[in-house]
Structure 1
Amino acid sequence: MTIPRKTLMPLHENYRGLDHKIDQMVIPDLDPNGKEQALCADQTPTIPNFTGELFLDIQTTSAKSIIEKAHKRINGINTVYDVLDISSRKYLISGDDDSVLKRELEFFADHNSKQAEDTREKAPKKGYLPVRIYKMSENEEEPFDNLQKAVKTSSILIIEGLCDVIGLKRKAFTLRELLKAMPEYKVNVSRQIPEPPEVNMLTVYDKKLEEKSQGWRANAIQHDVSLESFVDYYETSTASSIRALQSVKACPDNAESIIDTLQKELKNASLPLPRKYHIHPDATVIAFGTNIDINPENKYHKLKRQLKNVEKLPKFLRPTKDGDLMDHVPEILAGINTLQVYAKVPGVKTYPHIENGSLESVNVNLGPGNSVWYSVPLEYSAKLQELASEKMSSREKEEFFKQGYWPNEEECISRGIPIQKFIQRPFDTVYVGVGTYHWVVATGFTIQIAWNVASKCFRQLAMVAITHDHYLANKYTSLIPIEPMIWNMVRNKTDIDDKLKRLVKGMLCRSLANCKFEIDYVEKHNIRKVPIQKTHGFAPIERCHKCDVIVFNLLPTDTRPNVYCFQCLKPNNIDVVYQRYSIKKLSDFYDSVHLY
């Protein structure tokens, strides 16, 4: 629903009505009568959690005092911060009531045009929440000021006209152009059987090849193919579909036979599947070209045209900009701080997800087809996750973030979960707000470009911290290197406001205490520890060779040497531990952050 550009959303100063709850999760008030310590069952270092109680006042406690308190951790007692409460972090976050929903429904009702012919301008059915449309004009003075306010206060937003205002060139992102730039590229494809959004049948069958409904469960087949093979498939499928459409228009009486011919052509054009999968012999298995990386640091790719187009965006919409959170992450995180291209054919689905670390994201539809989007605001994310978990087996629940599923709209609404449902048309830009769950189905052939936005603000870093612990509670590894990022913010002397500074210092406190425990653990087990030198060849950010968790300050290695975390490499298998920073250096960084 189109809202005037200067109009602010309800509760624009209290995102989704959750700001106080978010505050208390990451920078809780110190309780003078509360706990003073936590018992730690695991005597092996893990990555720190960033939610829960702190047992000290970060405003008055020095790094030296933190180090002294952290020394008790080697005896199984944490006197700096509480252990991760898995039960409370199992689901992301929930609102206390429906007050935000009611306010927004009233807000949209006040702006509803009952005479509107465009379905996106009409009030949706009961149980659905309208989506704000922000229409841009090339003649508008200072066109991005109001847009920036709109995206930061919406759970999800459609931006019309952005591509025209900045002069984005669609041709730069056609598959043929990408193939010219990356002739050797391998693309990951998601193989699915096309079906309407309200239908969810088995893609992979048992040996009986029986077709049956699978509730919410979804299981696409993933494999890699050459970009050249995928481009041939995509262009052949597109051409066959266009011919069929033109033939039906010319001879509607022959529609049935034309569609039969099209089905055969699409099946013949299909990419081969890995042999281990059982697929119904009559099924046409489509291919979704996911995550085609536009990597600015890959010297073998000629991507100047694509990167130049991204630079046309206003700074607050770019994948990485000077001063944002990702500016302090010295590595490429595909799709997070770089752009990715998605090539869709009719029927392909993107399953429900939040962005990594609950970051915001941008998705531009370059056409020519449409996509149907569904989303759930942040305050209902826990309800959606809980309902999705009920549809899963015990094993699937253990790997919640690795499971694909496709929600039933009616079931969501009956559980009090509002759905935002809308069509993304060619050249529409969708801005996804912090922590918004969303899922998408393509209804036409379309190329889309997408990336994350990591704003340097309290709310975004707080949600990164909350999501980090949410991942830990669900045995999932975060891609965002949160410890290197926050320490680099201090090393780089980043200018931040007082509230964000307090959050950063609280997170540094937990990290510093954990670094001290790691050192005590290494010394207790008489493991050799040496300072890292440039000649050692370690990357600025290292991950465990086995579980992919971020390894921040102490890098345990085997004889090869591969880097592991302490959980995956036991003391008797550690050859040497490499140390990035001394405790003295980290303490100096910590004490340089002054709160007022």
Structure 2
Amino acid sequence: MDGGSAPQPTLWVQMGTMPGRVRRRRLAGAGWWERVGKWEGHRGEKVRTGELRSGRRRVDESGSTGVSNTLFLQAFPGTTASQKCSSDSARTALRQMARDRQNVDYLTGSWWPVLDDLYAAKIPVYRFIQRPGDLVWINAGTVHWVQATGWCNNIAWNVGPLTAYQYQLALERYEWNKVKKVKSIVPMIHVTWNAARTVKVTDPNLYRMIKYCLLTSLKHCQLLRDALMNSGKKIIFQSRVKEEPAYYCNECELEVFNLLFVTSENSSRKSYIVHCEDCARQRGPSLLNVVILEQYRMEDLVQVYDHFTLTPKSGSSR
């Protein structure tokens, strides 16, 4: 480094379809932080941010099959070691390895694989050391682990550019989590409705996927509402407030959208618990002592669905 000048951050790009190859480029001089910051809230969609890892000789491990891309910024003063794998065949082999050799659940457990085991299983892996000022981009679908090799601050952003490929991966993982009864960090139904309200989509493939997801969600809400009304259940309208989070079932951790089945666990403390329909009926088929809340009026959801249209690309012929 020349004359004490600030280190130039390096962007490493791991190509998801080519796990053995890495591209890198420098982020030019001043303003790089602002440009990275914009990726966090791509096209107005909120994403979960901020994972600050620090501590002397502390080992932090993360194994992920994430559907989002991940940015790792090495701040100061030490380094971190990372290794990552990609491709569907690699994930299948890793699931078996975690189960058979480590007795660890691949989706929820934490483990650091032995490199020799990865090599023996012919799993493609890339390993590198991240130094202060380095910025690392992990592509969606890449399994990765990170651990500190010294005293350092490593900041991670999970980012999801609104593209057809990214949205498809997110939906597939969302449905897979439901099958495996694992909570999805990203509430895809809420994200989809928010995107339909606020984002202008020019990609036909992305538009068709979002439109179909809206349709299935709308159909589910209408059918469930009709069934409840026909059985004589009272539905109380309570609109969402600003910054209100998405809700998950307290039992199965499934995302609950629009129609909430609420019970009071402790009347003295006014503690209310949200359930999905299936788990609420398991507590009592007649839904006794269950309050049903509706957060959106059906006509409002229909209006959002109807108004969500494909936006022509700028400069295209009319």
Bin the TM-score by the shorter chain.
0.7 to 0.9
Aligned to 1:461: 167
TM-superposed CA distance for 1:319, in Å, is 2.4
Give the alignment partner of residue 472 of structure 1, picking from 167, 178, 187: 178
One-letter code aligned to 1:133: R
Aligned to 2:305: 590
| Structure 2 runs not aligned, ≥5 long | 1-9, 265-269, 313-318
Aligned to 1:134: 25
- Give the 3-state SS of the residue equivalent to 2:167 in structure 1: helix
Instruction: Verify the 8 A CA contact 2:44 2:198 in the aligned structure 1.
Output: no
1 or 2, which has the higher strand percentage?
A: 2
Aligned to 1:564: 275
One-letter code aligned to 1:484: H
Aligned to 1:421: 127
Aligned to 1:447: 153
- Give the 3-state SS of the residue equivalent to 2:232 in structure 1: coil
* Separation (CA, whole Å) in 1 of partners of 2:217 and 2:26: 44
Q: 1:463 to 1:133 in 2, by over 3 A?
A: same
| Structure 1 runs not aligned, ≥5 long | 17-99, 102-128, 139-164, 168-311, 327-335
* Separation (CA, whole Å) in 2 of partners of 1:349 and 1:338: 17
Q: 1:325 to 1:416 in 2, by over 3 A?
A: farther
Alignment of 1:258-337 (within 5 A): 312-314=33-35, 318-321=39-42, 323-326=43-46, 336-337=47-48
Instruction: Verify the 8 A CA contact 2:261 2:291 in the aligned structure 1.
Output: yes
One-letter code aligned to 1:365: Q
Answering whether residue 266 of structure 2 is matched by residue 575 of structure 1, we say: no
Alignment of 1:451-530 (within 5 A): 451-492=157-198, 494-530=200-236
Instruction: Verify the 8 A CA contact 1:320 1:337 in the aligned structure 2.
Output: no
After the TM superposition, which of the residue ranges 492-501 and 426-435 deviates more from structure 2? 492-501
Q: 1:516 to 1:538 in 2, by over 3 A?
A: farther
One-letter code aligned to 1:132: R
Q: Deviations over 1:497-549 (max 9, x none)?
A: 222111101211221222123213423543211222469x9935333344443
Instruction: Verify the 8 A CA contact 1:317 1:453 in the aligned structure 2.
Output: no
TM-superposed CA distance for 1:489, in Å, is 1.7
Instruction: Verify the 8 A CA contact 1:324 1:454 in the aligned structure 2.
Output: no
Q: Deviations over 1:196-239 (max 9, x none)?
A: xxxxxxxxxxxxxxxxxxxxxxxxxxxxxxxxxxxxxxxxxxxx
* Separation (CA, whole Å) in 1 of partners of 2:111 and 2:275: 32
TM-superposed CA distance for 1:316, in Å, is 6.7
TM-superposed CA distance for 1:579, in Å, is 1.2
One-letter code aligned to 1:387: M
One-letter code aligned to 2:280: L
Q: Deviations over 1:538-564 (max 9, x none)?
A: 935333344443221101122454322
* Separation (CA, whole Å) in 2 of partners of 1:558 and 1:492: 33
The number of residues matched between the two structures is 289
Q: Deviations over 1:131-160 (max 9, x none)?
A: 33323443xxxxxxxxxxxxxxxxxxxxxx
TM-superposed CA distance for 1:378, in Å, is 3.9
Q: 1:493 to 1:412 in 2, by over 3 A?
A: closer
Alignment of 1:238-253 (within 5 A): none
One-letter code aligned to 2:126: Q
Aligned to 1:386: 96
- Give the 3-state SS of the residue equivalent to 1:430 in structure 2: strand
Aligned to 1:345: 56
Q: 1:340 to 1:540 in 2, by over 3 A?
A: closer
Instruction: Verify the 8 A CA contact 1:324 1:455 in the aligned structure 2.
Output: no
* Separation (CA, whole Å) in 2 of partners of 1:594 and 1:137: 37
Aligned to 2:267: none
* Separation (CA, whole Å) in 1 of partners of 2:48 and 2:243: 21
- Give the 3-state SS of the residue equivalent to 1:314 in structure 2: helix
* Separation (CA, whole Å) in 2 of partners of 1:562 and 1:349: 33
* Separation (CA, whole Å) in 2 of partners of 1:133 and 1:404: 29
| Aligned Cα root-mean-square deviation (Å) | 3.0
One-letter code aligned to 1:388: A
Aligned to 1:57: none
Q: 1:457 to 1:316 in 2, by over 3 A?
A: farther
Identity score, percent: 22
Instruction: Verify the 8 A CA contact 2:240 2:295 in the aligned structure 1.
Output: no
Give the alignment partner of residue 371 of structure 1, picking from 80, 103, 107: 80
Aligned to 1:539: 244
Aligned to 2:5: none
Aligned to 1:406: 112
Q: For the pair shown, which has the larger CA radius of gyration, 1 or 2?
A: 1
Q: Deviations over 1:66-104 (max 9, x none)?
A: xxxxxxxxxxxxxxxxxxxxxxxxxxxxxxxxxx46xxx
Instruction: Verify the 8 A CA contact 1:166 1:313 in the aligned structure 2.
Output: yes
* Separation (CA, whole Å) in 1 of partners of 2:81 and 2:49: 24
* Separation (CA, whole Å) in 2 of partners of 1:568 and 1:486: 24
Alignment of 1:167-316 (within 5 A): 312-314=33-35
Q: Deviations over 1:426-472 (max 9, x none)?
A: 11111111121111222211111111112111111111111111212
* Separation (CA, whole Å) in 2 of partners of 1:318 and 1:410: 36
Instruction: Verify the 8 A CA contact 2:61 2:147 in the aligned structure 1.
Output: yes
* Separation (CA, whole Å) in 1 of partners of 2:240 and 2:62: 42
- Give the 3-state SS of the residue equivalent to 1:563 in structure 2: strand
